């Protein structure tokens, strides 16, 4: 089971690297105005999304594998963690939508929006790590 946990963490780190960096690229993309920069950011964002997809898929696959190891009903903290991971998945999907908007030149958000948007995965990461490490008794 430790090998599965190790691969779950490796893919999670890969996924989070993309979740942290893609919105930062959106900040720069929203500030860009020349055609060369706009195309460069589109290419960088598309390639990063591919890596993010691989990280997310690996995280989910190995995470589900880890869930198979639970003999007793899972504790409440695990349900909360899974709900936060579901929010991360929605965030990931929304990043894909934003990337498509940039590609179609339909961006409606300011660089400031993307700076705030970039903080969401960090907050979710803190909550998830605290839940996994501390394993609080909820209710």
d(CA 78, CA 100): 33
More confident residue, 75 or 117: 117
72 band by pLDDT with thresholds 50, 70 and 90: confident
**90-114 pLDDT, tens digit each:** 999 999 999 999 999 999 999 999 9
Cβ contact 41:28 at 8 Å: yes
Provide the token pair at 18: 């993309």
pTM reported for the whole predicted model? 0.93
d(CA 122, CA 124): 5
**17-65 pLDDT, tens digit each:** 999 999 999 999 999 999 999 999 999 999 999 999 999 999 999 999 9
How many other C-beta atoms are found inside a 10 Å radius of the C-beta of residue 56? 22
**123-136 pLDDT, tens digit each:** 999 999 999 999 99
Q: Provide the pLDDT for residue 74.
A: 85
139 band by pLDDT with thresholds 50, 70 and 90: low
Cβ contact 138:80 at 8 Å: yes
CA angle 36, 37, 39 (to 5 degrees): 65
Rg of the chain (C-alpha set)? 17
Q: Provide the pLDDT for residue 81.
A: 96
Match 């605290």 to its residue by tokens.
Answer: 130
Q: Provide the pLDDT for residue 96.
A: 98
């Amino acid at each position: 089971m430790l090998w599965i946990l190790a691969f779950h963490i490796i893919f999670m780190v890969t996924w989070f690297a993309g979740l942290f960096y893609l919105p930062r690229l959106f900040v720069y993309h929203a500030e860009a105005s020349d055609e060369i920069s706009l195309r460069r950011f589109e290419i960088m964002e598309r390639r990063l999304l591919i890596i993010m997809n691989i990280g997310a898929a690996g995280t989910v696959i190995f995470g589900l594998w880890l869930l198979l190891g639970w003999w007793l009903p899972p504790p409440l903290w695990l349900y909360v963690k899974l709900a936060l991971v579901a929010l991360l998945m929605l965030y990931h999907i929304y990043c894909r939508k934003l990337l498509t908007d940039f590609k179609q030149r339909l961006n409606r958000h300011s660089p400031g929006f993307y700076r705030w948007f970039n903080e969401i995965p960090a907050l979710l990461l803190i909550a998830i790590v605290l839940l996994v490490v501390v394993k609080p008794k909820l209710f």
